């Protein structure tokens, strides 16, 4: 501890000035931690009106979340934006955004980042921040510009502001699409419904609701999911033929074939596909409720605790 003019001065590694947390090495990792927490606190307050089954509509959610989050992240981003060179920083921003995406998409909390961002219609924030930094650097003629998140491209020196924005928006979309394509395998069920980010943006809005988000993600009443979180001792479908994944339920299972669409090429943008997904997911939940009522799920839980294998689809054992 130092003593300056009779005042005790406590040394610190960081200092907050005009809302930016500066650290002694100008890494700005502490600042990113600070804004991540700030966004989480703000969003937690909004969560009351953002429930999965009720509350504000999709557009209102997006406007409110964007309004809270974007302003906080973009503030002084040209100062602290160099922190994007650390993978841990990008990871932490995406982890926070995953939470806000799940609110906008009415999805479960363990939704994957890449899918949640497309479903919510929210481009990766780290790319939005980088776009802002590049735009600022070009305007101020700070060359060469630093690319960290998006794929770099040569910016024409005489590009007008409007042309630059068009180029950057296009690059952001391409980089977002690459993130989705690289992280969601080509045989993943989501790719049937959302072939690419560019496609999703062209559709304007995917209008997710609670059931539709589950149908896309495979969360909710699917045995494959319930098995994964330890609520079933088997992931198998009631038809007994295969694991109850969304792909099995929606594409092949005979139990959920009513009004099944023949053509899936339009993905989530097709109204008949949407209606079918919602109806079949509802049917799964109704079956789940019936089983809960009949006590079958209780029997499964007891069996599971006792380590007795069960098919997940079999009949309830006699109560004798």
d(CA 320, CA 318): 5
Q: How far is the CB of 223 from Zn ion (least distance, A)?
A: 9
Give per-residue burial for 270-289: e unless 16+ CB within 10 Å, then b: eeebbebbbebbeebeeebe
DSSP helix/strand/coil, 259: coil
Tokens 């943006």: give the residue.
201
Which is nearest to 114 in space by CA: 193, 188, 181? Answer: 181
Using CB under 5 A as the criterion, what x/- string covers residues 208-247 for binding Zn ion? Answer: -----------------------------x-x--------
Neighbouring residues of 217: CB distance < 8 A, sequence distance ≥ 6: 107, 108, 111, 112, 115, 190, 246
Q: Which stretch binds Zn ion (CB under 5 A): 20-28, 174-182, 251-259, 262-270?
A: 251-259
Q: Binding of Zn ion at residue 284 (CB under 5 A)?
A: no
Give per-residue burial for 1-33: e unless 16+ CB within 10 Å, then b: eeeeeeeeeeeeeeeeeeebbbeeeebbbbbbe
User: Do 120 and 104 meet the contact criterion of CB atoms below 8 Å apart?
Assistant: yes
- Compare residues 130 and 247 and give the one whose CB is closer to Zn ion: 247
Helices then strands (H, E): number in the chain? 14, 4
Total number of residues that touch Zn ion (CB under 5 A): 3
Q: How far is the CB of 101 from Zn ion (least distance, A)?
A: 30
- Compare residues 70 and 279 and give the one whose CB is closer to Zn ion: 279
Using CB under 5 A as the criterion, what x/- string covers residues 88-117 for binding Zn ion? Answer: ------------------------------
Q: How far is the CB of 254 from Zn ion (least distance, A)?
A: 7
Q: Which stretch binds Zn ion (CB under 5 A): 108-116, 253-261, 270-278, 308-316?
A: 253-261
Tokens 């539709």: give the residue.
212
Neighbouring residues of 300: CB distance < 8 A, sequence distance ≥ 6: 232, 233, 310, 312
**What part of residues 140-179 is at the interface with Zn ion (CB under 5 A)?**
none
- Compare residues 73 and 250 and give the one whose CB is closer to Zn ion: 250
Q: How far is the CB of 249 from Zn ion (least distance, A)?
A: 7
Q: How far is the CB of 242 from Zn ion (least distance, A)?
A: 6
- Compare residues 146 and 239 and give the one whose CB is closer to Zn ion: 239
Tokens 């609110």: give the residue.
103
Strand partners, 20: 17
At CA 48, angle to CA 47 and CA 49, rounded to 5? 90
d(CA 181, CA 164): 25
- Give the residue, chosen from 253, 268, 273, 284, that forms a contact with Zn ion under the rule CB under 5 A: 253
Q: How far is the CB of 258 from Zn ion (least distance, A)?
A: 13
- Compare residues 32 and 237 and give the one whose CB is closer to Zn ion: 237
User: Do 65 and 104 meet the contact criterion of CB atoms below 8 Å apart?
Assistant: yes
Q: How far is the CB of 238 from Zn ion (least distance, A)?
A: 6
- Compare residues 198 and 290 and give the one whose CB is closer to Zn ion: 290
Q: What are phi and psi of 137, to 5 degrees?
A: -60, -40
- Compare residues 18 and 254 and give the one whose CB is closer to Zn ion: 254
- Compare residues 26 and 241 and give the one whose CB is closer to Zn ion: 241
Q: How far is the CB of 284 from Zn ion (least distance, A)?
A: 11
Name the site residues for Zn ion (rule: CB under 5 A).
237, 239, 253
């Amino acid at each position: 501890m130092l003593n300056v003019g009779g005042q005790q001065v406590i040394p610190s590694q960081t200092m907050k000035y005009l809302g930016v947390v500066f650290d002694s090495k100008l890494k700005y990792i502490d600042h990113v931690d600070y804004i991540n927490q700030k966004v989480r606190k703000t969003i937690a307050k909004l969560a009351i009106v953002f429930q999965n089954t009720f509350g504000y509509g999709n557009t209102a959610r997006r406007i409110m979340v964007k309004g809270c989050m974007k302003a906080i992240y973009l503030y002084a981003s040209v100062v602290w934006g160099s922190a994007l060179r650390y993978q841990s920083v990008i990871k932490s921003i995406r982890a926070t955004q995953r939470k806000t995406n799940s609110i906008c998409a009415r999805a479960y909390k363990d939704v994957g980042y890449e899918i949640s961002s497309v479903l919510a219609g929210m481009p990766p924030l780290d790319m939005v921040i980088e776009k802002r930094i590049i735009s600022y650097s070009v305007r101020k003629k700070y060359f060469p510009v630093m690319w960290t998140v998006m794929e770099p491209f040569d910016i024409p020196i005489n590009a007008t502001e409007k042309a630059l924005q068009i180029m950057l928006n296009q690059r952001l979309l391409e980089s977002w699409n690459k993130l989705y394509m690289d992280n969601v395998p080509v045989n993943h069920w989501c790719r049937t419904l959302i072939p690419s980010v560019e496609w999703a943006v062209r559709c304007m809005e995917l209008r997710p609701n609670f059931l539709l988000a589950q149908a896309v993600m495979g969360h909710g009443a699917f045995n494959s999911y319930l098995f994964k979180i330890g609520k079933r001792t088997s992931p198998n479908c009631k038809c007994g033929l295969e694991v109850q994944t969304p792909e099995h339920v929606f594409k092949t299972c005979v139990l959920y074939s009513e009004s099944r669409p023949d053509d899936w090429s339009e993905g989530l943008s097709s109204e008949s596909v949407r209606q079918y997904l919602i109806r079949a997911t509802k049917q799964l939940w109704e079956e789940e409720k019936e089983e809960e009522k009949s006590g079958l799920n209780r029997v499964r839980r007891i069996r599971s605790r006792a380590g007795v294998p069960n098919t997940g689809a079999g009949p309830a054992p006699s109560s004798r």
